[in-house]
C-alpha cells in the first residue's frame, strides 16, 4: 500500500513540474510580444525610479501590484488574441470585438497604474526641486 501512495505522490509532483514548465513557456511566448516588451521596459524604469526615490514598503506593494497586474492582463490579452486567430482567419466583427475588449482591459489597468504611479512618484519628484 505504501508503494501506491508513493506512486501517486510522484505522479502529482510530475504533473506539478510539467504545469510549471508549461507556465514558463507561456511567459516565453508573451515575452516575444511587442506590447509585453514595452510593459517590461516601463516596469524596469519604474523599478529603477523606485530605488532611486527610496519608496516605502507600502508604496512598493502598490507599484508591484500595478506592474504584475499589467503583465497579467497583457498575457491574458495575448491568449485571447491567439485563441481568436485560431478560431477564425477571416475578419469577423465579433472576433474584432473580443480582441478589442481584451486590449481595452490592458489599457484600463495601465491607466490605473499610471494614476497610482503619479500619486506615488510626483510628490517625491517635486521634493527634489
Q: Which three cell numbers stand for residue 77?
A: 490579452
Helix (H) or strand (E) holding 122: helix 93-127
Task: Give the chain's radius of gyration (CA, Å).
Answer: 20
Q: Is 33 a catalytic residue?
A: no
Residue at grid coordinates 505504501: 2
Residue at grid coordinates 508591484: 64
Q: How many CB atoms lie within 10 A of CB 98?
A: 16
Catalytic annotation, pick one of 59, 74, 81, 97: 74
Catalytically annotated residues: 74
Amino acid at each position: 500500500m505504501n508503494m501506491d501512495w508513493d506512486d501517486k505522490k510522484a505522479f502529482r509532483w510530475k504533473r506539478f513540474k510539467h504545469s510549471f514548465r508549461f507556465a514558463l513557456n507561456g511567459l516565453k511566448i508573451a515575452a516575444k510580444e511587442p506590447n509585453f516588451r514595452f510593459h517590461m521596459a516601463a516596469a524596469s524604469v519604474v523599478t529603477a525610479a523606485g530605488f532611486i526615490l527610496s519608496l516605502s514598503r507600502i508604496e512598493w506593494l502598490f507599484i508591484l501590484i500595478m506592474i504584475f497586474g499589467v503583465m497579467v492582463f497583457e498575457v491574458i490579452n495575448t491568449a485571447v488574441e491567439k485563441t481568436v486567430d485560431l478560431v477564425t482567419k477571416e475578419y469577423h466583427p465579433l472576433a474584432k470585438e473580443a480582441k478589442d475588449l481584451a486590449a481595452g482591459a490592458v489599457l484600463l489597468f495601465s491607466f490605473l497604474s499610471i494614476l497610482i504611479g503619479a500619486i506615488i512618484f510626483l510628490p517625491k519628484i517635486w521634493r527634489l526641486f
